[in-house]
Amino acid sequence: MELTSPSEFAKEKVQAIQDYALLSSRSLANLFRPPLYLGDMFQQADLIGVGSLPIVVLTGFFTGAVLALNTAETLGRFGSLTLIGQLVSISMVRELGPVLTGLMVAGRNASGMASELGSMIVTEQIDAMRALGTDPTKKLVIPRIAATVFMLFFLTIISDLLGLVGGNAVSTLLLGLDSHQYWTSAWQILVFRDVFTGLMKPVVFGLIISTIGCYYGMSARGGTQGVGRATTQAVVAASVLILVMDFFLTKLLIVLLGYR
C-alpha cells in the first residue's frame, strides 16, 4: 500500500472541502436561476420522496412503538404512564423523526446519487453533457438538491406522525392506556419551538444528503471501483454529518429559541 505524506494528505482534504464548498455554493446560487429543470425536479422528487416512503413509514412507526415500549417501565415506576404520549411526541418531533428519516434517506439516496453521477463521470456522459451545451450542475445537481430538501421535509412529517401512531398502538394494545388520552397529551405538549426545531432539521439534512451525494458522484475517479468507493463514502459522510450537524443545530436552536 502506498503511503501518503501528511502534507499531501492535508492538501487533498483541503482541496476536497474546497471543491465541495464550490459545488454546493454554485448549486445554491443557481437554485432559482433559469433554466429550471422542473421535469427533472419532479422526477427526482418521485424517486427520492415516493421511493423512500415505505422505509420512512416503517422506520417511523417502529421507532415510536419501541420508544413507548422501552419507556413504559420507567414511567410506570413513577406512576406517570399517562405521560407516554408526551414522551413519544417530543422525542419523535424534535429528534428521532428528523434524524432517523435523514439517515434512512441518506442511506438510500446519497448512495444512489453518488453511483448515478459517478457512473456518468467515468463513462464521459458528464463531459458529453457539457459538450452539448448543458450545465450538469443545473441539469443534474440542482434538481436533486431541491427535490431532497423538499421531500425530506414532508417525509419527516410523515415519520413523526407514524411514530406517534406506533406509540399509540403500543400504549393502547399492550399497555392498556386510553387512546384519546394518549393523543391529547401528545398534542398538548408540542409548542412552536418543538415543531420549528423538528422541521428545520430536515431542511439542513436534505442539503447535506444531496450535496454530499452529488459531490462524491461528481468527483468519482477510477472506473467502476471508483464509483463503488464514491458510493460508500457518500453514505458514510452524509450519515456522520447528519449526526454532527444535529448536535450543533439543536444547540443553536436552543439558544435562538430560548428553551432549555
Q: Which three cell numbers stand for residue 40?
A: 427533472
Q: Nearest distance from residue 130's CB to another protein, in Å?
A: 6
In this structure, what DSSP letter does residue 83 have? G
- In angstroms, what is the minimal distance from the CB of 123 to another protein? 6
Query: Within 10 A of 32 (CB to CB), how many other CB atoms are there?
Result: 9
246/67 Cα distance (integer angstroms): 20
* Residue 74, helix vs strand vs coil: helix
Smallest distance, another protein to C-beta of residue 144, A:
14
Q: Which is nearer to another protein, 94 or 138 (CB)?
A: 138
For 6, other C-beta atoms within 10 Å of its C-beta total 7
Helices (H), 170-222: 179-189, 192-218
**Three cell numbers, residue 189:** 405538549
Query: What residues have CB less than 8 Å from 255, skipping those under 6 apart?
Result: none
Nearer to another protein, 132 or 255 (CB): 132
Q: Give the separation between CA 246 and CA 260, rounded to whole angstroms.
A: 16
Cell of 35: 433554466
| In the complex, least distance from residue 69 CB atom to another protein, rounded to whole angstroms | 44
Shortest distance (Å) from residue 155 CB to another protein: 24
Angle (deg, nearest 10), helices 192-218 and 223-257: 160
User: Please, which residue, 116 or 160, has the CB nearer to another protein?
Assistant: 116
At closest approach, how far in Å is the CB of 119 from another protein?
8
Residue 11 has which C-alpha cell? Answer: 492538501
On the 0-12 / 13-18 / 19+ scale of CB atoms within 10 A, 257 is: middle
Q: Which is nearer to another protein, 95 or 135 (CB)?
A: 135
Q: Which residues bind another protein (CB under 8 A)?
A: 35, 119-120, 123-125, 127-135
Contacts of 174 (CB under 8 A, 6+ apart): 69
Least distance between another protein and beta carbon 136 (Å): 10
